[in-house]
Structure 1
Amino acid sequence: MASVSDSPNPIVLGCGAASVDYLATVASFPNPDDKIRSLALKVQGGGNTGNALTAAARLGLRPRIISKVADDAQGRNVLKELQNDGVDTSYMLVAEDGNSPFTYIIVDNQTKTRTCIHTPGYPPLWPEELTKDNLSAALEGADIVYFDGRFHDTALVVAQEASQRKIPILIDAEKKREGLDKLLNFASYVVCSAKFPQAWTGTSSIPVALVSMLSRLPKIKFVIVTLGEKGCLMLERSMIDASEAEEIHIDALLESLQKKVDQGSTIPNCITSKGNVRISADGVGSISGTLLLGTAEVIPPDELIDTTGAGDAFIGAVLYGLCTSMPPERMLPFASQVAACSCRGLGARSSLPHRTDPRLKRY
């Protein structure tokens, strides 16, 4: 996979959510009308873009962010925390009135799940607030642009300009959002949650949905779906047409990869199909590509603290992998390892690793 950057310290521009998370750990999720006490409480920065860019910064990229907060205590803390991690906040908008976005997160110590209650910021970020000069400066020298689907009208303006400049675009498709369909037409890469592919395509399974996404979005080079403790799947489009090759159904191809998984391994690995095969799916058609199955780290129960932001950490690592020419078979385990590190602390950012972390040495 070709690098998107020739720079020793590549620049990634992110457009999307930056907010405050109020994280309360509880022994177990409360029943209606219960009164319980938290076991631990932490207040820290959140938001998909804020988290992913923080992960990218700690790995060695130079992130810039387009977002909006209010001139309140929460907003000032959002800016300070991002700046302390090396994220350039010069292109963030600050509203004199209103409120910064924030999320209450209940972390269930029993099930290791988290429940989020989000309050959007007000007023929202409008496209006209992003001047042409600011947009041009934000994109200047950028090696890749990342969107989380928030502020869709503004995101579309940024994506159109980035596309004209031939800057690659990665989109986090967490769920169906207003304006996401238009944004996906500009995507070079897509990373999505387990629920998104079928919800967006209406197909019978995740593997079939991946074939459908690459068929419907011809500009996309690859799509990754994250599956939590089950790892991830990646379907990469071949640059060489394999229309003359024998077709193999994606379900059969995935089954063959699953048989090769080392069940005794606790560290992330990647199993890949032969390159440039013709992969078919019922009712969808076929594409020339490669299927990759990434496994997740098996985290000991006593080390698993909180999964908040694990997907954002994964995306931050994918951004790093793209900018540093990591081949997919190394990028997927690397991203899974970064995500696993993030699950060992409370909140999305507490345990995000730096590139010098010994756990990342093998990559």
Structure 2
Amino acid sequence: MKKPHDLSWDVFGLGQCSLDYLGVIDRFPQADSKCECRDLTIQGGGPVATALVALSRWGKRCLMCGVVGDDPFGEVILHSLHSDGVHTDGVLVRPQCASQFAFIAAEPATARRTIFWRRPTGAPLHFNEVPWQEVHRSRVILTDGFFMDAALAVARKARAWNIPVVVDAGSLRDGMLDLARWSDHFIASEPFAKKLMGSEDPEGACRKLAGLGPEVVGVTLGARGSAYSFQGRLAFQEAYSVDVVDTTGCGDVFHGAYVYGLLKGWDVRKRFQRASWAAAQVARRLGGRAGIPSSLDEPMP
């Protein structure tokens, strides 16, 4: 890893940035019925964007690279990043296009949530649009693989420049396994692992992903914790028990906390432990950003 004084950014993030409308419901309704929604709130969202917000709050310099439209949602998305200190010079505004948007119904009684979302209507980020000088001046790359061509190009350059790449693998979309081969830290969601293996086998998913070459692989399992593999050894991190309001953003902040630990030089066990704790704190509040803990450096309760 490069020396900090040679760099402009602690983290270069490439991926989704969204606007989330969230509300709490008692239970998910049947079709053709009405459902009262309460505690409606609006927050910025997206896996990479929310991770960068967390990292910025924890004192890290972050640059976001992605796409929004020139609609009012895009303005709010950019404002939400700016207000938390995330630099958005790498976010392209596509004219006459719509930004990524989601409506999320949280069910605290079941610790579940349902997401209705629209992808950005503008053209995906092309690798020629990546600010390569800023990639080169970064300590860590974080991507969710949403703009796959750009993500693969960045990962390959990062390998040549000796910059570690962390992947938030939420969905098993085309190209994700190729991205795993060019990554150093590949942490997948439970649905990703289940689709990869064809069954509930997080340990098997860790082994299979580790065989592609990442130094560290992991699978987040919600309330059941996370499984991970390092240097050929499997380990398990328990989840922290909290009163769950909404699980939106838990995985995003998990990845942000993991990157924070990587920057701090923590060992793998401590990275997963603190990431699990941070994710649990997010679940106590509605939305992915309201519950981000103020610090990861204090001793945990």
Query: Shorter-chain TM-score category?
Result: over 0.9
Deviation at 1:331, TM superposition (A): 1.6
Paired position in structure 1 for 2:223: 229
Helix, strand or coil for the counterpart of 1:320? helix
Q: Which amino acid aligns with 1:158?
A: V
Q: Give 1:1-363 correspondences, 5 Å limit.
A: 4=1, 6-7=3-4, 11-127=10-126, 130=129, 135-202=131-198, 205-215=201-211, 217-218=212-213, 220-237=214-231, 289-299=232-242, 301=243, 304-355=244-295, 361-362=298-299
Deviation at 1:204, TM superposition (A): 6.9
- 1:109-159 alpha-carbon deviations (Å, 9 max, x no partner): 3212110111011112231660xxx52222132111111120112222222
> d(CA) in 2 for partners of 1:150 and 1:229?
26
Question: 2:22 touches 2:41 (CA, 8 Å); kept in 1?
Answer: yes
Question: 1:294 touches 1:332 (CA, 8 Å); kept in 2?
Answer: yes
Count of aligned pairs:
298
Deviation at 1:41, TM superposition (A): 0.4
Helix, strand or coil for the counterpart of 2:182? coil
1:13 and 1:114, CA in 2 relative to 1: closer, same or farther beyond 3 A? same
Deviation at 1:209, TM superposition (A): 2.3
> d(CA) in 2 for partners of 1:49 and 1:138?
17
1:10 and 1:89, CA in 2 relative to 1: closer, same or farther beyond 3 A? closer
Query: Which residues of structure 2 form unaligned runs of 5+?
Result: none
Helix, strand or coil for the counterpart of 2:142? strand
Deviation at 1:40, TM superposition (A): 1.4
> d(CA) in 2 for partners of 1:229 and 1:75?
33
Q: Which amino acid aligns with 1:7?
A: P
Helix, strand or coil for the counterpart of 2:20? strand
Deviation at 1:178, TM superposition (A): 2.0
Helix, strand or coil for the counterpart of 1:195? helix
Q: Which amino acid aligns with 2:146?
A: R
> d(CA) in 2 for partners of 1:340 and 1:151?
28
> d(CA) in 2 for partners of 1:227 and 1:128?
32
**Rg (Cα) greater in structure:** 1
1:128 and 1:214, CA in 2 relative to 1: closer, same or farther beyond 3 A? closer
Helix, strand or coil for the counterpart of 1:178? coil
Q: Which amino acid aligns with 2:223?
A: E
Helix, strand or coil for the counterpart of 1:54? helix
1:5 and 1:297, CA in 2 relative to 1: closer, same or farther beyond 3 A? farther
Q: Which runs of 4+ in 1 moved over 4 A?
A: 201-204
- 1:244-266 alpha-carbon deviations (Å, 9 max, x no partner): xxxxxxxxxxxxxxxxxxxxxxx
Q: Compute the TM-score of the two structures, normalised by the length of structure 1.
A: 0.78
Deviation at 1:328, TM superposition (A): 1.7
Task: Kindly report the root-mean-square deviation, in angstroms, between the aligned alpha carbons of the 2 structures.
Answer: 1.9
Query: Which residues of structure 1 form unaligned runs of 5+?
Result: 238-288
Q: Which amino acid aligns with 2:238?
A: T
- 1:71-103 alpha-carbon deviations (Å, 9 max, x no partner): 121101111111111111011101121111101
Identity among equivalent positions (%) equals 31
Deviation at 1:343, TM superposition (A): 1.0
Deviation at 1:16, TM superposition (A): 0.4
> d(CA) in 2 for partners of 1:56 and 1:191?
17
Helix, strand or coil for the counterpart of 1:77? helix
Q: Which amino acid aligns with 2:204?
A: V
1:45 and 1:204, CA in 2 relative to 1: closer, same or farther beyond 3 A? closer
> d(CA) in 1 for partners of 2:187 and 2:267?
16
